[in-house]
């Protein structure tokens, strides 16, 4: 049979199976047994709770609710497997216990149907903890067909598009997102213990600053103004530090109009926090302690597997300046390079692509990206970035061409970015001017001057340490997930029908 004919036959078979489910629903409704009439079901236990507390629950009546994932009909008695949030449990359903009419209905139920089951907890002859059903109620009829159980849902694109099906078919996926929630809860507990206030700031802004990224733009009809979706949380949180809220943080979505890959999604979860009267060393200590706390709380250990590596969050994190890191891994000492011209010449020799507008500091950063990042497997703070790539950061007093900034790298990936925040309004205005010059020269990710933020700085901001964390990357690390899409419930996908355009 030709491939096209085979596909047509498969589609016809599928349509027939789907129609059978709709016919079953219609028959139930006609008999006054519409499953969708149920508005609630009072379950007393979850599956794993029953298994973990079998000694106390043996012989006692329980009520569970969940989805039928398998079913074996054996005449007057049957077995089914019910899946709920934490796992699944076997149920024994016999005609003599639930009644002939109910048993007849049960035999017609499909894989994917949602049921409520009441019965006694017992152990089968094979030693499996189960529920001996005394009542089975159909709570919702599944009109679609789940992926074939043996193979599961393995089509990656379909898994991301239909996350609801992915969660049903792949228990480890469900566990990832339960762990994600626990990670964020642990972060909140840690920061609350440190005296931080959680706040919320605007997503629609007139000036999307605080990071080097292209914003999404939209129009606010009521005000007849063009606005942007925020790319960062920074500038509003700093306004709150000016206002006297000494320790603040926000966990929220930010939006960057850039590409998609294993580490980037155009909308993602960022956490930024700011603490008055500290510096980037204070942010290093906070970060190291918080990562240890969260790993211990969520994973039960500070030694976490990622890909082929074992990441040790328990030992002190390495600290390297960017200059020393490039010297260590590329064999080039930028302290010995006198100016931009010499830096560009060296870049040409090493095959590093740069733009005409780039200065010595930009080229140092390009060397770091090319030669260093991939080697930073264990937690490493890379410190003291060039001023050219750090427009909102305080300069180092003894080396003003560098700033008090660090990035934490784990498994070659940036996990967070921190500063001793620039609180000199005169210096800040000059940095904004340099950013606007870069924008005029073609850098679409450059910042523009935020006059209200400048006004806040002129009122006076205390010495402040600030940091931004990519929450999704932390979740990737602690769940051993290879791609950002694996830790986003609904990652950005191209609209169906446009994938090949």
> Does residue 302 contact residue 313 with C-beta atoms inside 8 Å?
yes
pLDDT at 57 over 90: yes
pLDDT band for position 5 (cuts 50, 70, 90)? low
Tell me: the pLDDT tens digits for 307-318?
A: 999 999 999 999
pLDDT at position 269 is 97
Q: Could you write out the three-class secondary structure of 168-203?
A: HHCHHHHHHHHHHHHHHHHHHHHHHHCCCEECCCCC
Residue 453, pLDDT score: 94
* Short-list 61, 64, 72, CA closest to 89: 64
- How far is it, in rounded angstroms, from Cα 393 to Cα 37? 60
pLDDT at residue 393 above 60? yes
pLDDT in tens, 248-282: 999 999 999 988 888 899 999 999 999 999 999 99
Say if residue 4's pLDDT is above 90: no
Residue 150: which pLDDT band, with cuts at 50, 70 and 90? very low
- Give the model's pLDDT for residue 3: 57
**Which pLDDT value is given to residue 437?**
87
d(CA 273, CA 250): 7
Q: What is the C-alpha to C-alpha distance for residues 450 and 260, in angstroms, rounded to an integer?
A: 29
**Lowest-confidence pick of 43-47, 156-160, 272-276:** 156-160
Q: Residue with structure tokens 């709570």?
A: 139
With a CB cutoff of 8 Å and minimum separation 6, the contacts of 96 are: 76
pLDDT for the residue numbered 12 = 73
Please report how many Cα atoms fall inside a 13 Å half-sphere around the Cα of residue 230, on the Cβ side. 19
- Per-residue pLDDT tens for 87-137? 999 999 999 999 999 999 999 999 999 999 999 999 999 999 999 999 999
State the average pLDDT for the chain. 93
C-alpha span between 420 and 405 (Å, rounded): 6
Model confidence at 1: pLDDT above 80? no
CA-to-CA distance for 241 and 236, rounded, in angstroms? Answer: 9
Burial class (CB in 10 A: 0-12, 13-18, 19+), 417: buried
- Beta-carbon contacts of 420 under 8 Å, excluding residues fewer than 6 positions away, are 279, 280, 393, 394, 403, 404, 405, 463, 464, 465
pLDDT at 341: 96
pLDDT for 123: 97
Separation CA 236–CA 258 (nearest Å): 23
Per-residue pLDDT for 216 more than 60? yes
């Amino acid at each position: 049979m030709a491939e096209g004919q085979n596909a047509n036959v498969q589609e016809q078979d599928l349509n027939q199976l789907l129609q059978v489910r709709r016919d079953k629903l219609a028959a139930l409704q006609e008999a006054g047994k519409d499953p969708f009439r149920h508005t609630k079901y009072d379950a007393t236990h979850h599956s794993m709770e029953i298994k973990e507390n079998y000694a106390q629950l043996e012989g006692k009546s329980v009520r569970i609710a969940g989805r039928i994932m398998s079913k074996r009909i054996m005449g007057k008695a049957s077995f089914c497997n019910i899946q709920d949030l934490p796992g699944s449990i076997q149920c024994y359903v016999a005609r003599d216990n639930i009644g002939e009419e109910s048993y007849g209905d049960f035999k017609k139920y499909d894989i994917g149907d949602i049921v409520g089951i009441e019965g006694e907890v017992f152990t089968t002859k094979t030693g499996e903890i189960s529920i001996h059903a005394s009542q089975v109620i159909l709570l919702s009829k599944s009109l679609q067909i789940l992926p074939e159980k043996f193979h599961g849902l393995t089509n990656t694109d379909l898994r991301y598009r239909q996350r609801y099906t992915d969660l049903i078919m792949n228990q480890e996926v469900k566990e990832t997102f339960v762990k994600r929630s626990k990670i964020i809860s642990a972060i909140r507990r840690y920061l609350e213990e440190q005296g931080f206030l959680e706040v919320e700031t605007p997503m629609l802004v007139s000036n999307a600053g605080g990071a080097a990224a292209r914003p999404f733009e939209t129009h606010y009809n009521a005000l007849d103004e063009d606005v942007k979706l925020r790319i960062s949380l920074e500038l509003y949180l700093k306004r709150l530090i000016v206002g006297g809220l000494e320790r603040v943080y926000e966990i929220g979505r930010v939006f960057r109009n850039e590409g998609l890959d294993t580490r980037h999604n155009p909308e993602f979860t960022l956490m930024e926090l700011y603490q008055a009267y500290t510096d980037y060393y204070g942010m290093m200590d906070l970060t190291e302690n918080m990562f240890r706390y969260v790993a211990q709380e969520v994973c039960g250990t500070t030694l976490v597997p990622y890909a082929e590596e074992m990441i040790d969050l328990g030992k002190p994190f390495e600290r390297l300046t960017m200059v020393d890191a490039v010297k260590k891994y590329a064999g080039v000492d930028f302290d010995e390079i006198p100016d931009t011209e010499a830096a560009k010449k060296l870049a040409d020799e090493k095959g590093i692509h740069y733009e005409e507008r780039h200065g010595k500091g930009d080229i140092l950063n390009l060397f770091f990206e090319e030669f260093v990042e991939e080697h930073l497997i264990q937690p490493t703070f890379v410190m003291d970035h060039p001023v050219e790539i750090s427009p909102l950061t305080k300069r180092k007093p003894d080396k003003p061409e560098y700033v008090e900034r660090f990035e934490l790298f784990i498994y070659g990936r940036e996990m967070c970015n921190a500063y001793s925040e620039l609180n000199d309004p005169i210096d800040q205005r000059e940095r904004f001017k340099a950013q606007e010059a870069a924008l005029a020269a073609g850098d679409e990710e450059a910042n523009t001057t935020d006059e209200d933020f400048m006004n806040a700085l002129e009122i006076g901001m205390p010495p402040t340490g600030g940091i931004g964390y990519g929450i999704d990357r932390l979740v990737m690390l602690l769940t051993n997930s290879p791609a950002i899409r694996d830790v986003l419930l609904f990652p950005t996908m191209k609209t169906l029908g446009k994938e090949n355009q």
